[in-house]
Amino acid sequence: MISELRKSISAILYERAISPLYGTFILSWLIWNWRIWYLTFFVDERILGQNKVKYIEREYLTWDFLAFYPIASTAVLLILVPFLANAAYRLGLKFQKTRTNDKNYFEDRQLLTSEQSRELKRELRSKDAEFENYETKSKLQIKELEEEIKALYIEMDNKKEIKEVNEEDNVIKNTPSRTPTFEDLWHSGKLNDFIDRGKDLLMNNEIKKDRIPNVHIAIALGFLELYEHSNQYVVLTQKGKEFLEWAILKS
């Protein structure tokens, strides 16, 4: 029990010691009643010529100095002083902001020297050169990407055309009936678009594939073949030339 009492007293004393209220009050009391502890510890009774305690009770033990003034000082130190400190801090920040704004205002309106102007122009030219270099590199990269995409599309189209030609060729080769004649192909109607382009094909060495609908049928029949320099173009074979001449005469 004595140990618990000792711990409780120690906790209370520790709380009092770290509390700003008690510390401020004790400091205020010691300042306002400095004569009491000064006479108690440093003045001999022979100098006073009377009993020290009675002298202190008669001269300095008053309600004002023992309680009122220390309490009032404590309240001022704990409430008013922090409030004034915060107000002073805010006022200082306001003055600092005003000084900064005034400084920026006058600096913005200050004329540059010749050297500063030249330096600024050099920096601007350097930035412009960097931007133009970056823009040129970006355009080149975009162009390269566009060419790669275009090449991929061409490759896909070529693979598709080759696949369609092979499929049509396989169909024709696997057909058990006799080889179709010009008359059969004429009446089938599958080569009407090819015949419509007959004059262009006879007059030009090569022609773009997309100008001939169902071009894969004509290729499968051996009337057209892919141009050796570009898969986007086709050329008329001798068999195709004979068929077109026959078809033109028939029409």
Whether residue 57 contacts residue 16, with contact meaning beta carbons closer than 8 Å, is answered with: no
Return the number of other C-beta atoms located less than 10 Å from residue 215's C-beta.
23
What residue segments make up the domains of the chain, in order of their start?
A: 2-107, 156-250
Closest CA to 50 of 60, 58, 42, 38: 58
pLDDT at site 161: 62
pLDDT at site 18: 58
Measure the CA–CA gap between 74 and 172, rounded to whole angstroms.
Answer: 113
Q: Give the contacts of 153 (CB within 8 A, at least 6 positions apart).
A: none
pLDDT at site 6: 65
Instruction: Kindly list the strands in the beta sheet with 206-208, ordered across the sheet, starting from the edge strand earlier in the chain.
Output: 206-208, 230-236, 224-227
pTM above threshold 0.85: no
What's the mean per-residue pLDDT of the chain? 75
Q: How confident is the model at residue 5 (pLDDT cuts 50, 70, 90)?
A: low
Which segments of the chain does DSSP mark as H helices, in order? 2-18, 20-32, 34-42, 45-48, 52-59, 63, 69-75, 81-108, 114-174, 182-188, 192-196, 198-203, 215-220, 238-250
CATH 1.10.10 fits 156-250, yes or no: yes
Q: CA gyration radius for the chain?
A: 55
Query: Average of pLDDT values for 151-179?
Result: 62
| 187-243 pLDDT tens trace | 777 777 777 777 667 776 677 777 777 677 777 777 777 777 777 777 778 887 888
Measure the CA–CA gap between 132 and 126, rounded to whole angstroms.
Answer: 10
User: Does residue 64 carry a pLDDT above 60?
Assistant: yes
| 29-38 pLDDT tens trace | 888 888 888 8
